[in-house]
Structure 1
């Protein structure tokens, strides 16, 4: 009797959960009886994935927070390594979370298990020496952006660029009215706030974003404010912060981040994958991020690029305003948000650029990633 393929996937945050769900769906076309296990979230679970640990346990950022959690993270990685080895898995795919996944992938590869990493670490931004570890850790690197592929080719690492799956799924022209109807919003101006999917991000940006929204609402009395919460834990955290802003009416959603952005006129968000999603939805955006003084001081000295927001990185110029650390103030953020509301011609100009970038990212998405992995481990 032929044993079903065993495919391990390790995703460390909500964006990885979404990518993982799409990848599982595409792989099931080739391996309908495959077993998918590892670490993932609710979207992956809907595809039949079994998570051995809660995905939130890997959602750490910066330098300081991971140090506090090192014993737990090492224990989880050790347990995963043993589980994948004992189970004789055919393939293990790490989705993002490179500091956790690359070490796991390297150990598994040394044991003869095929490994792939989905979403390139930002080696072209900083810590370029990591490319040597990547070469040891993976049989295949799967990148989202074309410029990343050439970097890995220069270092003789097997690579395939699949674009971003959302570039395939989302239409070139958005449907703002349908999104607003689905959320019960009026035709008035809408501001979507996305302070992040990690507890630490919301701690640093949640209250700031609400203060910005209140400032904007003083100028736009009919402004509608919505916030999609990535998880129930983040929703509870946001609820507590909202208690300190009783005068601001906010629609707090369970997930539904794409719908929340689709309904918006402007999005105020933390730097990360959500900036790419907002761009694919053709939404004017203002980007902010706070790492903490010590972490920012360390990182800023090593970063080799001018921008942090993905639309700016992809364009090679500051298409959208971004404010980091001490520059992420109520004044700066509310001023940038209000400029989009007050000057709609700027928004339209920006949307045209976003359409061009969207087209460049349509490289096959989940289906292309699945085909590359099938070529790696063999068709059933």
Structure 2
């Protein structure tokens, strides 16, 4: 990497999306800036050089990490040595704290400024991470307004930059235009099914979501959209669909935002997709399952009763959350059906989601790029 370059690691598809907008702003501010490391297709579209693809890091839960641990540690070691040898002006870890924080600690101790984009959810669980963060991170970029307060009294500089999705997603999504693009005609309700972006999530959550979609289609004739986050997930989803042969479903290659814009309601795996759905002002039911071992290991570690981002931001159960054994096809379908038939509740959700959108909307990519360039002493 040439002098003045930036090393970056995005460990999952949501990080790839977040980082791609920041890369665009970085290149607008510093044309010719070289950025390289671990990234996905969206980052590469912005001129990023991927030494390894994001997909190599994507795992779901403790049970999946264990068999992959040797490979992940090998990648991190090779990456660390390469970054130390090439000495970029700064390193940016995009989410993926289990992978990035240890890497950042080594790089920072070697004199490379470290920036972490998206504060780890220490407000939700594992607050003991704060001590490790202070050893690893020079500048924490926070996407939620309550997060900088967590770093007061530490050496970590924390800046609220807003959430990039609040800029990308229109405040008034055009549902009819989205339906036209997808060839959806008629007055039938539309259900979006979003079982996650990682293979482990889809394996755990997909059968329940597809079973719920089949029940809703039987009961109400809903049209069903399933945006497939990455091509590698398609074989597993097709196998799961063989268990619900009566389900008429429209598979989409990516296009999750188009599906959210078009739908009346969504089934969403916990994660960034829940926030995306809220920004599209769509009612949703959140469902999530982990392998049994991972669930037992995480039990009791949470500091709050919610896992969905809309509920966390609202500090209340705005939308239903069905977790682990409660995440069954019938329970999901029943909750979605109740939402579909409650127009007053839908109006309340839209109003709450609009307030969230306004709060999260900032020139996020530009603020992040400015912070990165300052940390790299390129500004």
Superposed CA deviations along residues 118-161 of structure 1, whole A, max 9, x for unmatched, are 11111111111111110010110011101111111243421111
Where 2:370 maps in the other structure, the secondary structure is helix
**1:15-94 matched pairs, under 5 angstroms:** 15-94=14-93
Which residue in 1 is equivalent to 2:296?
Answer: 297
8 A Cα contact 1:5 1:33, kept in partner: no
Are 1:30 and 1:379, in contact at CA under 8 Å, matched by a contact in 2? no
Match of 2:219 in 1: 219
Change (3 A) 1:4 1:34: farther
Q: Which residue in the other structure is 2:268 paired with?
A: 269
Q: Deviations over 1:69-118 (max 9, x none)?
A: 11100100011101111111111111111000000011011111111111
Q: CA deviation at 1:32?
A: 0.9
TM-score norm. by structure 1 comes to 0.97
| Match of residue 14 from structure 1 | 13
2:147 partner SS: helix
SS of 1:378's partner is coil
Following superposition, the deviation at residue 165 of structure 1 comes to: 0.7
Is 1:243 aligned to 2:248, yes or no?
no
Q: How far, CA to CA, are the matches of 2:153 and 2:350 in structure 1? A: 33
CA contact (8 A) 2:142 2:158 kept: yes
Is the 8 Å Cα contact of residues 114 and 375 (structure 2) preserved in structure 1?
A: no
1:237 positional shift: 2.1
Match of 1:190 in 2: 190
Count of matched residue positions in the alignment of Structure 1 and Structure 2: 377
- Name 2:208's counterpart in structure 1: 208
2:344 is aligned with 1:316: no
Q: Distance in 2 between matches of 1:38 and 1:320?
A: 37
Matches of residues 67-216 of structure 1 in structure 2 within 5 Å? 67-187=66-186, 188-216=188-216
Matched-pair contact (CA < 8 Å) for 1:276–1:311: yes
* Cα contact 2:63–2:291 (8 A) shared by 1: no
Question: Distance in 2 between the 1:237 and 1:55 partners?
Answer: 19
CA offsets 1:177-199 (integer angstroms, 9 cap, x no match): 11111111124210000000010
TM superposition shift of 1:298: 2.1
**Structure 2 residue runs without a partner (length 5+):** none
CA distance in 2, matches of 1:50, 1:44: 8
- The structure-2 alpha-carbon separation of the partners of 1:156 and 1:114, relative to structure 1 and needing over 3 Å to count, comes to closer
2: CA distance between counterparts of 1:237 and 1:295?
A: 21
DSSP 3-state at the match of 1:8: strand
Quote the Cα distance in structure 1 between the aligned partners of 2:272 and 2:153. 25
Residues of 2 paired with 1:54 and 1:138: CA distance? 23
- Where does structure 1 lack aligned partners over 5 or more consecutive residues? none
* Distance (Å, rounded) in 2 between the aligned partners of 1:185 and 1:91: 47
- Aligned equivalents of 1:62 and 1:205: distance in 2? 13
Please tell me whether the aligned partners of residues 235 and 254 of structure 1 are also in contact (alpha carbons under 8 angstroms).
no
* Cα displacement (A) at 1:364: 2.2
The equivalent residue for 1:360 is 359
Q: What is the CA–CA distance in structure 2 between the aligned matches of 1:169 and 1:260, rounded to whole Å?
A: 15
TM-score computed with the length of structure 2 as normaliser: 0.97
CA RMSD of aligned residues (A): 1.2
